[in-house]
Amino acid sequence: MNTQYCNPIGYAWRTSKLPDPIIRTEENIWERVCEMVSKRFKGVTLEQMKSKTKQREVFTCRAVCMTFLHSNNASLKTVGQYFGGRNHGTVHSAKRAIYNLVDTDKRFRSKYAEIKKEVEAFFLEQGYTNTLPVDNS
């Protein structure tokens, strides 16, 4: 093995049981976003959002989180995997459901706008520059 191109620190990190620091940071940011959203939905927990339940309150909370996370450059597949192994189609459908609710329900629109403002401020604080969409256009 040619050690000229070998990075011993990188190899030690890859073979250790420690988590990848970049992934941990992203997961922590995603958990924080989910906490911000769940406060507005009668205390839905992250475990409930990752579960297979289809209760309206849990579904809406999960869909709002999926919308925010995907809107900040996370792939549909990655977001789906984070929420209990769902596929990209589920995330796409959830986003469409949120956009439909924003278009048709005035109370939800104002609730979504408040959450959006809080989440956008958090993302800017973390160094993300994307803005979150309000509608599908």
- Go through the domains of the chain in sequence order and give each one's CATH number: 22-126 (1.10.1750.10)
Q: Taking a C-beta distance cutoff of 8 angstroms, is the pair 126, 29 a contact? A: yes
pLDDT band at 12 (very low <50, low <70, confident <90, very high): very low
Residue 10 confidence (pLDDT)? 47
Residue 3 confidence (pLDDT)? 46
Question: Locate tokens 């976003």: which residue?
Answer: 33
Amino acid at 30: W
In terms of residues, how long is the chain?
137
What's the predicted TM-score (pTM) here?
Answer: 0.73
Question: Locate tokens 């329900």: which residue?
Answer: 105
pLDDT digits (tens, 9 = 90+) for 64-120: 999 988 887 788 898 888 888 888 999 999 999 999 999 999 999 999 999 999 988
Residue 29 confidence (pLDDT)? 82
pLDDT band at 132 (very low <50, low <70, confident <90, very high): low
Amino acid at 85: G
Residue 26 confidence (pLDDT)? 66
pLDDT digits (tens, 9 = 90+) for 33-52: 888 898 888 878 888 988 88
Q: Which among 133, 58, 65 has a CA at the least distance from the CA of 102? A: 133
Residue 106 confidence (pLDDT)? 94
CA distance 121 to 118: 5
- Residue 82: CA count within 13 A, CB half-sphere: 25
